[in-house]
Amino acid sequence: MKILAISGSPRDNKTQYMIKKVLEKGADFAEIVKLSDLHIKPCTGCRACAKAPFECQQEDDMTRLSIKLRLAEVIILASPVYFDNVTGVMKNFFDRCLGLYWSKRLEGKKVILLAVAGGERQDSAERCLDSMQFWAKLLKMKVVARIGVTNGKPEVKNHELEQLSNELLSWIE
Ligand SMILES: Cc1cc2nc3c(=O)[nH]c(=O)nc-3n(C[C@H](O)[C@H](O)[C@H](O)COP(=O)(O)O)c2cc1C
């Protein structure tokens, strides 16, 4: 598994469409994880993860997801826009990445950001993308592409998504 796609949508709908389109060419090397299918408890703010071995004291699905993140060469982060931001499950996931921030284990990894807004405002999608970009920036990852769509119509950006799908193959070894 060279590509890990993380979805913040609880549905198999528009966000899933964007992920599948980007993975059209690299599907055999990819895994899609829907955060809403996992049991990830909220960060308790205990800061135990700030010290080696930089692991969370809580036992849940984040342990396995952290390993998958560390092994992936390219990470796709995709979220629907909820209240001009990422979904709650996505923000919860960000908070639980604090140990990965301290351990610096994701530094330099390539990240693709995808967002879909149901409304017509492009700035809604941009805010959601910015949130994900700040997460990636804090973890010192490299954002290689970001695509935001409005009106719940990801197919409008099919050409861009298909181009990205081709490029993605050149980013995995
Ligand atoms: C709780 C909630 C909040 C939402 N907030 C916004 C919003 O602020 N701006 C917007 O354009 N769409 C908003 N939407 C619409 C979703 O972005 C839209 O339905 C999107 O396509 C959902 O993605 P999905 O099909 O992958 O689930 C919201 C939807 C829900 C359920």
Domain boundaries, the chain: 3-171
What is the pTM assigned to this prediction? 0.97
Quick: pLDDT tens for 96-113.
999 999 999 999 999 999
Residue 59 has pLDDT above 90, yes or no: yes
Residue 173: which pLDDT band, with cuts at 50, 70 and 90?
Answer: confident
CATH topology of domain 3-171: Rossmann fold (3.40.50)
Q: How many A from CA of 97 to the centre of ligand 1?
A: 24
Q: Is the CB of 89 under 6 A from ligand 1?
A: no
| Confidence (pLDDT) at 1 | 85
Q: Is the CB of 152 under 6 A from ligand 1?
A: yes
Contact 135, 79 (CB under 8 A): no
Integer angstrom CA distances of residue 43 from 23, 56, 96, 98: 31, 9, 6, 9
**Mean pLDDT within 5-26:** 97
Mean per-residue pLDDT of the chain: 97
Quick: pLDDT tens for 134-170.
999 999 999 999 999 999 999 999 999 999 999 999 9
Integer angstrom CA distances of residue 40 from 30, 77, 109, 110, 151: 21, 17, 23, 24, 30
CA torsion through residues 63, 134, 125, 147, sign: negative
| Ligand 1 atom closest to 16 (CA) | 26
Residue found by looking up tokens 């990894």 in the block: 109
